[in-house]
């Protein structure tokens, strides 16, 4: 833990990289159009917004959730290979390659997903080519629930569900969070801060 209030290894508290934005098309410092997820997140922050915590969706957790499909594909390929038909074996291998490519793309999408806790909101930024940003302001959060499936327990991840006053919001869950206990504690302390019980966010490693 450092004097800035963040744990070692996580991104520290930081303001938005943009200092001013007079109006659309008038800013001397336009938002970055970089490709790294951290740069993408910076482009969605407003001036003066403070990042408390930023996490990525766990690729390990995502792959664990695909474990059943991995087993099905491997068993199906072995059965086809035992039949001995060259054409069927070739088709099965092509299907395996297609499945591997699909999983690789989804894993990349998982790595590009960022969950960001700021002093204003909870933000989710996702997408590699087609990007999407969704957020819930702290004033509308009514309930926070943490759930873990058996596979998530093995992968040491969890899903955190956020209930808000805006029932039409598509952003309701934070899936496959690495170190879910810490992430959940940050959310709880931020809610307490907004309710006035805490004066400022001060997360410990205890």
Share of the chain above pLDDT 90, in %: 1
Average pLDDT over residues 145-156: 86
- For residue 124, is pLDDT > 60? yes
pTM confidence score: 0.69
- For residue 205, is pLDDT > 60? no
- According to the model, what pLDDT value does residue 166 have? 63
- For residue 93, is pLDDT > 60? yes
Residue 196 banded pLDDT, cuts 50, 70, 90: low
- For residue 7, is pLDDT > 70? no
Rounded CA separation 60/138 (Å): 29
- For residue 4, is pLDDT > 50? no
Residue 203 banded pLDDT, cuts 50, 70, 90: low
């Amino acid at each position: 833990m450092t004097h800035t209030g963040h744990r070692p290894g996580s991104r520290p508290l930081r303001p938005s990289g943009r200092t001013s934005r007079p109006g659309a098309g008038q800013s001397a410092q336009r938002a970055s159009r970089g490709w790294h997820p951290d740069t993408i997140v910076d482009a969605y922050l407003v001036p003066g917004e403070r990042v408390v915590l930023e996490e990525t969706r766990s690729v390990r957790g995502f792959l664990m959730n695909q474990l059943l499909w991995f087993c099905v594909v491997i068993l199906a390929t072995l059965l086809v290979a035992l039949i001995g038909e060259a054409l069927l074996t070739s088709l099965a291998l092509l299907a395996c390659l297609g499945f591997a490519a699909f999983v690789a793309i989804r894993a990349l999408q998982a790595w590009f997903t960022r969950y960001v806790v700021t002093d204003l909101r909870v933000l989710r930024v996702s997408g590699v080519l087609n990007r999407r940003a969704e957020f819930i302001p702290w004033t509308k959060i009514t309930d926070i629930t943490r759930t873990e499936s058996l596979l998530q327990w093995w992968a040491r991840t969890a899903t955190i569900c956020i209930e808000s006053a805006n029932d039409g919001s598509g952003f309701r869950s934070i899936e496959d969070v690495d170190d879910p206990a810490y992430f959940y504690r940050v959310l709880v302390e931020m809610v307490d801060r907004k309710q006035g019980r805490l004066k400022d966010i001060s997360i410990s490693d205890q």
